[in-house]
Amino acid sequence: MNTDWSVIATFMPQLLNGAKMTLFITLVGLSGGMVVGAIAGLMRTYGNWLLNYTAMIYIEVIRGTPIVVQVMFLYFALPVLASIRIDPLTAAMIAIIVNAGAYIAEIVRGSLQSISRGLAEAGLALGLPRWKVLVHIVGPLAFRRLIPPLGNQFIISLKDTSLFIVIGVSELTRTGQEIMAANFRAVEIWSAIAVMYLIMTGSLTLMLRYIERRMKIL
Amino acid sequence: MSIIEFKNVSKHFGALKVLDEVDLNIDQGEVVVLIGPSGSGKSTLLRCINGLEMITGGDLLVDDISVLAGYAKLREIRQEAGMVFQQFNLFPQLTALDNVAFGPKHVRGQSTHEARAQALALLDKVGLKDRADHFPNELSGGQQQRVAIARALAVKPKVMLFDEPTSALDPELKQEVLNVMRNLAEEGMTMVVVTHEMSFAKHVGSRLIFMENGKIAVDGHPHEILAGDSNPRLKDFLRHVH
Ligand SMILES: Nc1ncnc2c1ncn2[C@@H]1O[C@H](COP(=O)(O)OP(=O)(O)OP(=O)(O)O)[C@@H](O)[C@H]1O
Ligand SMILES: [Mg+2]
């Protein structure tokens, strides 16, 4: 077997563009996912039965179906059902938002519920309104416990973007496949792509370690 | 004048009746000690006063405000009635000083500076001025409970509610907390205290209430109750506490 590692350099600009697209989808997806997750998580934890059940159904539907099916639904089924036509990139971003949102909701709920009831009661007993108890007591404590599982979800979502190959978004994995189709340098190209994913997830891990170390879990 | 008025108060948890048509008036300056077997409803009675539990029958007035008068009124009541918990429940992310300053800042709208100055004076009062910058996990149980008392006092309540404040403490740490409570009583603070510390009941209490099955079984002056033999089950209970 002869390998020619110089092809990596040749295709580096394309690969970097793919990586940029991967990062972009991840960033937009997770930002949205955190907003959706925070709202759904609060609905699950503090909502009345209607809000609680609405959030629960959303979470169970998303957790119970593969993300590939979700993005296929967005991209192929939605135009048929509701004549909403979206481009692959938008479908990819929405898929991450909706998918990560469901998992983050459960993370948020778990963190909030892990904070001892007594602390909230101490705040209420001082005469604080409920929202202030959440903002000043329960929230900051829950946030510290949120970070490790949230970091996990970030890494999962980043890797999930590779599944959007099925709708032809030109993220890193899709880019690799296109290069492959032209020159068949499987070993070199897939090695390079694996390393690029590792660099991205590794940086995320380091960043989270740093934040975790700065914030004691109480 | 009564500052706390239970009018035929009942409290149910589902089908379980935990307070059974309780009538009780507590006057300003009284130090009421609540005793009774486990599950008799002592904590529930206390928690109904500041609305941590909602009553399910009758009416309960604190400083002439009904606990049923809506959420805004309930928050007024909570500022009138400070609470100290068995498990301290200090905010772990805040120093002793900021724990005490927390209420005035977020409830009374004081500036951080103002709230901290007052907090320091209160920490001094409970003998912990030199621990102001310590976090709760750097304090002993007795110190934490004294900070918790200062935190409740910071909102300037008219009544203090204590739910077994020394039960989670080692014997040698109980006394420092009881001393703070005794000083508070001597200053004229109205107090309702659930405790098994019978010497506190005898020497600090002005009134002793024995609860049984959600009802007030015995109510009177500590000396008379502890000397007399009015209620056989109370006598039995006291034998087990000692
Ligand atoms: N949130 C709740 N939900 C259901 N039942 C409850 C709740 N809180 C208390 N109870 C029940 O109400 C009864 C009285 O409880 P309470 O805590 O008032 O008793 P207590 O006199 O303080 O007992 P202890 O000395 O053990 O603290 C118990 O049977 C308890 O199990
Ligand atoms: Mg109790």
Distance between first and last Cα of chain B: 35
Which residues of chain B make contact with A116, given a CB cutoff of 8 A? Answer: 87, 89
Measured in degrees and rounded to the nearest 5, phi and psi for residue A208 equal: -65, -40
Q: Is B18 helix (H, G, I), strand (E, B) or coil?
A: strand
Pocket test for ligand 1, best of B20, B33, B40 (most atoms within 8 A of CB): B40
Q: What is the pLDDT of residue A212?
A: 84
DSSP characters for A64-126?
TS-HHHHHHIIIIIHHHHH-----HHHHHHHHHHHHHHHHHHHHHHHHHHHS-HHHHHHHHHT
Higher pLDDT, A208 or B124: B124
Q: How far apart are CA A105 and CA A200, in angstroms?
A: 24
Q: What is the pLDDT of residue B75?
A: 96
Is B103 in Cβ contact with A126 (below 8 Å)? yes
Which of A126, A144, A218 is the mutation pick for testing B, counting most B CBs within 10 A?
Answer: A126
Ligand 1 in contact with B195 (CB < 6 A)?
Answer: no
Q: What is the mean pLDDT of chain A?
A: 93
Helix (H) or strand (E) holding B77: helix B71-80
ipTM here: 0.94
State which residue of chain B sits closest to A215, comparing Cα positions: B93
Condensed to tens digits (0 to 9), the pLDDT of residues A39-54 reads 999 999 999 999 999 9
Q: What is the pLDDT of residue A217?
A: 67
State which residue of chain B sits closest to A118, comparing Cα positions: B89
Condensed to tens digits (0 to 9), the pLDDT of residues A133-152 reads 999 999 999 998 999 999 99
Condensed to tens digits (0 to 9), the pLDDT of residues B49-107 reads 999 999 999 999 999 999 999 999 999 999 999 999 999 999 999 999 999 999 999 99
Per-residue pLDDT of chain B (242 residues; tens, 9 = 90+): 799 999 999 999 999 999 999 999 999 999 999 999 999 999 999 999 999 999 999 999 999 999 999 999 999 999 999 999 999 999 999 999 999 999 999 998 899 999 999 999 999 999 999 999 999 999 999 999 999 999 999 999 999 999 999 999 998 899 999 999 999 999 999 999 999 999 999 999 999 999 999 999 999 999 888 887 678 888 888 888 76
Helix (H) or strand (E) holding B5: strand B2-13
Is A127 in Cβ contact with B75 (below 8 Å)? yes
Is B103 in Cβ contact with A127 (below 8 Å)? yes
Q: What is the pLDDT of residue A67?
A: 95
pTM over 0.90: no
Q: What is the pLDDT of residue B222?
A: 92
